């Protein structure tokens, strides 16, 4: 099969506070997709970054009494530093306030849309949510408050630049319904189509220099205006490839790439599935191929946030206390494809103890112990007597394809389940074949028992090797430990020892 080229991106979060577990979910999902495609032989580029040019960042810096640059740099560094604690493999990390690629690309994108006749200036008055960095109409509010933040928007009146979003509505709808612009899950696709059918209104794409406190990218040829943060931020998907600086990476990964994949939270779907495609259509650039939408993590039923109401969960502190594998595993195994997931430390540790120490760890330890006990640590050949292990061989053969299909559907739970079926079938194989009884019969001179024991041990070790391979995108370190346990050194497997420590014992 010919390798394909995948460009995978996360959203870029505001840096008004340090990162929380909700964004870690998106990072881990994107990393898993990237690692999986690399493992299948595809070319992959994974981009993350930070959204520095937000009024939220300015206001947070003022509230803390520090300079905006100092504040933004400090918090942006905290997002970039998630790489090691979460075992991320991103190839690039863009910061919109300081990366020289970004401003050049934003300016080029602006001028392309202006040349297409899609930018115009007008006076406007509306209800503005600082948290969302977005204007709302009264009917989009609930009891006069933003649905996302529960706050009353400010009434803002000024003259800004606007983008002719309405001009592109029909084209965007056609692209979505044809599948050329794929939005998953289906509920989010239907949500976007309903938004388009309700009528798209042109939106403001600049703010006054005064209201932006002078922070941000000036509008080309109009320095009294600053490019609206969402226009600025969305551009990172191409500016991170050097669009605007004639970097060949843009042509390789965006213009000529096979898949252009955005991972986004449900709260920013309209920006990525409507505003961003319209901007690209206006500029004459290719659109993303896939927009994959996840729901929220909550604490006690409330959305996790960076700074409010006791819902902040620090992913670095979690990995320090419980380990990277445990955090990644909970995010991928327990968070559903559709619907919010409520986080507790107890759920994380219970899942890790059940699946790692009690599941994977116990299985691998049992198998390696039997190979040492019955074959002196040497893994036997599978041989011809495979009837007893056929179900396990079948599950192992099917797992890679099932994982491919599940991840193509943006369903991490189903992908993990496909791998976990190997664990369950391997345990079933042990219970059914009872290797200890085969070993007893072998000692009594039963040749058939000896051949069957070889087949059982070979199939069980093979199952562990498949697990080591297929779990690498999800929990790289744990997968590597599994692989080492079932890889011979000088012809024999390493001596059996515990693979995982229970978190209750660790903490």
Q: For 184-234, what is each residue's pLDDT tens digit?
A: 999 999 999 999 999 999 999 999 999 888 999 999 999 999 999 999 999
Q: Taking Cα atoms as reference points, which of 120, 392, 140 lies closest to residue 270?
A: 140
Torsion angle, alpha carbons of 49, 54, 60, 61, to 10: 80
Q: HEC string of 74-109?
A: HHHHHHHCCCCCCCCCCCEEEECCCCHHHHHHHHHH
409 vs 149: which has the higher pLDDT? 409
pLDDT value at residue 308: 57
Nearest to 229 by CA among 207, 246, 244, 248: 207
Cα–Cα distance measured from residue 74 to residue 98, given in angstroms and rounded to the nearest whole number = 13
The C-alpha atoms of residue 108 and residue 245 are separated, in whole angstroms, by 9
Residue 321 pLDDT exceeds 90: yes
CB 40 within 8 A of CB 4: no
Q: Which long-range contacts (CB under 8 A, 24 or more apart) does 92-95 make?
A: 92/45, 92/46, 92/47, 92/48, 92/49, 92/240, 93/47, 93/48, 93/49, 94/12, 94/47, 94/48, 94/49, 94/50, 94/236, 94/239, 94/240, 95/49, 95/50, 95/52
Which tens digits make up the pLDDT trace of 131-164? Answer: 666 777 777 777 778 776 677 887 777 889 999 9
pLDDT confidence of residue 309: 59
**Single pTM value for the model:** 0.93
Q: Measure the CA–CA gap between 446 and 448, rounded to whole angstroms.
A: 6
Give the N- to C-terminal CA distance of the chain in Å, as an integer: 47
């Amino acid at each position: 099969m010919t390798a394909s080229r995948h460009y995978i991106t996360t959203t870029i979060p505001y840096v008004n506070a340090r990162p929380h577990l909700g964004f870690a979910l998106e990072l881990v999902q994107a990393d898993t997709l990237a690692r999986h495609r690399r493992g299948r032989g595809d070319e992959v580029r994974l981009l993350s970054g930070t959204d520095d040019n937000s009024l939220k960042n300015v206001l947070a810096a003022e509230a803390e009494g520090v300079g905006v640059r100092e504040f933004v740099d400090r918090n942006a560094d905290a997002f970039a530093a998630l790489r090691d604690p979460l075992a991320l493999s991103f190839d690039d990390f863009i910061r919109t306030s300081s990366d020289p690629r970004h401003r050049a690309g934003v300016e080029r994108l602006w001028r392309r849309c202006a040349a297409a006749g899609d930018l115009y200036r007008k006076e406007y008055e509306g209800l503005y949510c600082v948290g969302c960095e977005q204007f709302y109409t009264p009917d989009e509010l609930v009891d006069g408050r933003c649905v996302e933040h529960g706050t009353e928007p400010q009434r803002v009146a000024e003259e800004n630049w606007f983008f002719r979003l309405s001009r592109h509505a029909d084209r965007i709808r056609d692209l979505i319904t044809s599948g050329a612009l794929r939005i998953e899950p289906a509920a989010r696709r239907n949500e976007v189509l309903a938004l388009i059918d309700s009528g798209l209104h042109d939106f403001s794409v600049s703010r006054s220099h005064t209201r932006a406190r002078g922070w941000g990218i000036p509008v080309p040829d109009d320095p009294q205006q600053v490019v609206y943060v969402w226009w600025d931020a969305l551009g990172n998907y191409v500016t991170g490839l050097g669009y605007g600086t004639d970097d060949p990476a843009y042509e390789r990964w965006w213009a000529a790439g096979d898949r252009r994949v955005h991972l986004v939270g449900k709260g920013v779907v309209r920006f990525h599935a409507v505003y961003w495609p319209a901007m690209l259509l206006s500029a004459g650039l290719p659109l993303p191929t896939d927009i994959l939408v996840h729901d929220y993590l909550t604490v006690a039923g409330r959305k996790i946030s960076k700074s409010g109401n006791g819902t902040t969960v620090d992913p670095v502190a979690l990995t320090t206390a419980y380990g990277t594998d445990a955090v990644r595993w909970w995010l991928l195994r327990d968070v559903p494809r559709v619907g919010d997931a409520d986080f507790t430390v107890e759920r994380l540790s219970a899942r890790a103890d059940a699946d790692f120490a009690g599941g994977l760890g116990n299985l691998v330890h049992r198998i390696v112990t039997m190979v040492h006990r019955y074959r002196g640590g040497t893994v036997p050949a599978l041989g011809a007597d495979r009837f007893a292990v056929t179900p396990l061989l079948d599950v192992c053969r099917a797992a890679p394809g099932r994982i491919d299909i599940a991840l193509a559907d943006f369903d991490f739970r189903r992908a993990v389940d496909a791998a976990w079926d190997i664990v369950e079938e391997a345990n079933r194989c042990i219970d059914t074949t009872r290797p200890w009884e085969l070993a007893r019969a072998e000692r009594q001179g039963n040749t058939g028992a000896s051949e069957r024991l070889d087949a059982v041990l070979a199939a069980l070790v093979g199952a562990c090797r498949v697990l080591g391979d297929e779990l690498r995108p999800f929990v790289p370190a744990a997968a590597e430990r599994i692989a080492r346990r079932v890889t011979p050194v000088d012809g024999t497997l390493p001596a059996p020892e515990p693979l995982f420590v229970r978190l209750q014992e660790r903490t």
